[in-house]
Amino acid sequence: MAGSSNLAPVSSIHTSSETGRLLTSETKCNSKEIDLDVSLPSPYSKSYLFELVIADKTHYRRFLYISLTLAFVVLALGLVLHFLPENNRHHGHSKNLTLALNQAIAFFDAQKSGSYPSNSPISFRGSSGLQDGNSSNIHADLVGGFYDSGNNIKFTFPAAYTITLLSWSVVEYHRKYADIGELEHIKDVIKWGSDYLLKVFVPPTAKSDPSLLYSQVGSAGNDTKNPVPNDINCWQRPEDMRYKRPVSVCNETASDLAGEIVAALSAASIVFKQENEYSQRLLKKAEQIYEITAKEDRIHRAITYTTIDACGGEARKFYGSSGYKDELVWAATWLFFATGNHTFLDYATTNFAAAADDETTTYKGIFYWNNKLAANAVLFTRLRFFRDLGFPYENVLALSTNMIDQLMCSYLSKQNFNRTPGGLILLSPGTGGPLQFAATASFLSKLYNDYLTLFRRSSWNCTNDGFSLEMLQSFSTSQINYILGDNPRKMSYMVGFGDHYPTHVHHRTASIPWDGQYHSCAEGDRWLHSQDQNPNVLLGAMVAGPDQFDDFSDEREKTWFTEPSIAGNAGLVAALIAHHDPPRSSGSNGPNLGLDIMGIFEKVHLNS
């Protein structure tokens, strides 16, 4: 500035925090105190200071009234948002989860085998597999159940897991299902599956006879030299099947298979507890199977079903089981909740550590058809939080809580599991089909988030860091949003949802026109290899998903990208209902989460 050299030294005034007086500070940093006389009036009027001239006092008063009113409204709105319970707010879901749920459940309607219901929402399906069970090697009624995926085989092991998981989602969130009008729909799907599971176990007719378990209907065909039509090499709608469908048979030593059936029937019995006769029928069968299976475990004859060729030789290529201990603990846990019998809880808690030791490193912490340990730990933690039974269970239940805390940490820290560039967690990157694992991780993390919220626990510590409920919520939501279209390809991996989804799904029924004509195996090949989109939209089917780089090929013959499965969709349904907004009125004084916190404990009492 011109003439700046002639300016007097600059002084600033600041407040002395202790004396309430002003201090002057010169540029040479020496200060002196001066008294502050706040009674002195300003020599200038405020109008003069701000050059404000009021020409019309009426308009001025009106302006003040409007300004004050707006300020009050803004303040009130801010207070409402501030004190609104966190769990009543939306958590970033821009997706229509009601529609997504309806479609995801409808996929199971498209997978039904047997006498097809006339009221089904699926227009391109009919009755099929009406001779299932009547084969050259066995004569049994195995009509019903679900086709596993894009083929026409019925695998009992993943089907039982599917019913267990769907039932669990209803036990926890039946209020949400009812609120959106899907409760009867999901119960119909569960009953269709549990009706079939009631058929797959045959008790011994004599004391010396073995029990029978039917593990599979249909064949993948092992004879490559003399191939005959089967459920893999024949591309044909199930309604057109004419080839033989052999039945795979196990005995009571197939403990993993038996354990999952027990878990499914027990969980379903809780779903249908208002229908007492049917619920008791499910429970009686579950206890009968468990009693035989537990005996085999005690005499060290228990094995996995896929180790026996006649039982699971073909299933080994699709659903090879790595152990049976987690299924037996899983079975006992669900039987305990269904009956309140502490004998089952004794077994589950006593053998939980052994099941954990038996868990393979590759699948540690992953909840899917082959590993139930993490899910079991969530159920044990639920018991510890809300119905603590004390001695002698507290140590195992505490161990379970620690296990789940560490699993949630591993989901969030990105140290244990990699992610795609678009954010999809890769829980089992070497096996393909990442969406089924991401869906169950989303379900478990959201369910555990709800437990922690009701337990009034907002954060926890991990090895290197701490995490909050908001971070866990963000993770679980991100996985569902990825599946539904928030990914680099902007593609919904659930068929029919959104504007961009797979149209060449690996699925026989979806790819062959529903034209009232019979199509042979040879004719079906042209639909398998066709470049045209599927003529039938397989609504709600979640495909296997992208690779580790978020790349996806919408080609019918590439099963590792485009094939759906009932086990995968079960995880999707569970995750969707967990993330769906709760009903407006929860009927409780706690946070409104739409979760039935005490229903599962109806028969659980302190052990006297």
What is the C-alpha separation between 287 and 295, in angstroms, rounded?
A: 12
The total domain count for the chain is: 2
Bin 340: left if φ > 0, else alpha if -120 < ψ < 50, else beta. Answer: left
The CATH number of the domain holding residue 540 is: 1.50.10.10
Half-sphere exposure of 548 (CA within 13 A, CB side): 10
Q: Identity (one letter) of the amino acid at 495? A: V
Query: DSSP code of 590?
Result: S
Bin 349: left if φ > 0, else alpha if -120 < ψ < 50, else beta. Answer: alpha
Looking at the structure, tell me whether residues 307 and 406 fall in a common domain: yes
At residue 11, the pLDDT reads 34
Specify whether the CB–CB gap between 158 and 146 falls below 8 A: no
CA distances from 429 to 406, 419, 589 (A): 20, 9, 43
**Domain contains 146:** yes
What is the C-alpha separation between 594 and 584, in angstroms, rounded?
A: 9
* 3-class DSSP assignment, residue 423: coil
At residue 363, the pLDDT reads 87
**Domain contains 90:** no
At residue 508, the pLDDT reads 97
Q: What is the dihedral of CA 162, 165, 167, 170, to 10 degrees?
A: -130
Q: 14 CB contacts (<8 Å, ≥6 apart)?
A: 22, 23, 25
**Domain contains 607:** no
CA distances from 87 to 19, 91, 590 (A): 47, 9, 10
Looking at the structure, tell me whether residues 142 and 225 fall in a common domain: yes
**Domain contains 496:** yes
At residue 553, the pLDDT reads 97
**Domain contains 509:** yes
Q: Identity (one letter) of the amino acid at 272? A: F
Taking the CA atoms of 74, 75, 80 and 86 in sequence, report the sign of the dihedral they define.
Answer: positive
Which phi and psi (to 5°) does residue 486 adopt? -85, 70
User: Residue 22's domain spans which residues?
Assistant: 9-38
Which phi and psi (to 5°) does residue 434 adopt? -70, -20
How many degrees, rounded to 5, is the angle at CA 579 between CA 174 and CA 429?
115
- Positions annotated as catalytic residues are 506
**Domain contains 336:** yes
How many degrees, rounded to 5, is the angle at CA 545 between CA 539 and CA 546?
140
Looking at the structure, tell me whether residues 381 and 235 fall in a common domain: yes
Looking at the structure, tell me whether residues 109 and 27 fall in a common domain: no
**Domain contains 50:** no
Task: Look up tokens 């879901």; give the residue.
Answer: 93
Residue 84, judged by CB atoms within 10 A of its CB (0-12, 13-18, 19+), counts as exposed
Looking at the structure, tell me whether residues 181 and 32 fall in a common domain: no
Half-sphere exposure of 352 (CA within 13 A, CB side): 28
What is the C-alpha separation between 149 and 563, in angstroms, rounded?
A: 7
Provide the token pair at 198. Answer: 């009631």
Looking at the structure, tell me whether residues 13 and 155 fall in a common domain: no
Provide the token pair at 292. Answer: 């035989």
**What's the alpha-carbon Rg for the chain, to the nearest Å?**
32
Provide the whole-model pTM.
0.84
Taking the CA atoms of 79, 84, 86 and 91 in sequence, report the sign of the dihedral they define.
Answer: negative
What is the C-alpha separation between 494 and 500, in angstroms, rounded?
A: 10
SS in 3 state form for 55-114?
CCHHHHHHHHHHHHHHHHHHHHHHHHHHHCCHHHCCCCCCCCHHHHHHHHHHHHHHCECE
Specify whether the CB–CB gap between 507 and 538 falls below 8 A: yes
Q: 321 CB contacts (<8 Å, ≥6 apart)?
A: 157, 256, 257, 304, 305, 306, 312, 370
**Domain contains 65:** no
Which phi and psi (to 5°) does residue 575 adopt? -70, -40
User: Which of 321, 250, 249, 261 is closest to 290 using CA atoms?
Assistant: 261
CA distances from 588 to 89, 168, 180, 469 (A): 17, 21, 19, 21
Residue 25 CB: number of other CB atoms within 10 A?
Answer: 14
Specify whether the CB–CB gap between 546 and 490 falls below 8 A: no
Half-sphere exposure of 567 (CA within 13 A, CB side): 23
- Chunked into runs of 10 residues, the chain (608 residues) has average pLDDT values of 38 34 34 33 36 55 67 55 39 79 98 96 96 86 97 98 98 98 98 98 86 95 74 95 94 95 98 97 97 84 93 94 96 98 97 94 92 98 95 95 93 87 90 92 98 88 80 96 98 97 98 95 93 97 97 97 98 98 74 93 83
Which phi and psi (to 5°) does residue 497 adopt? -100, 125
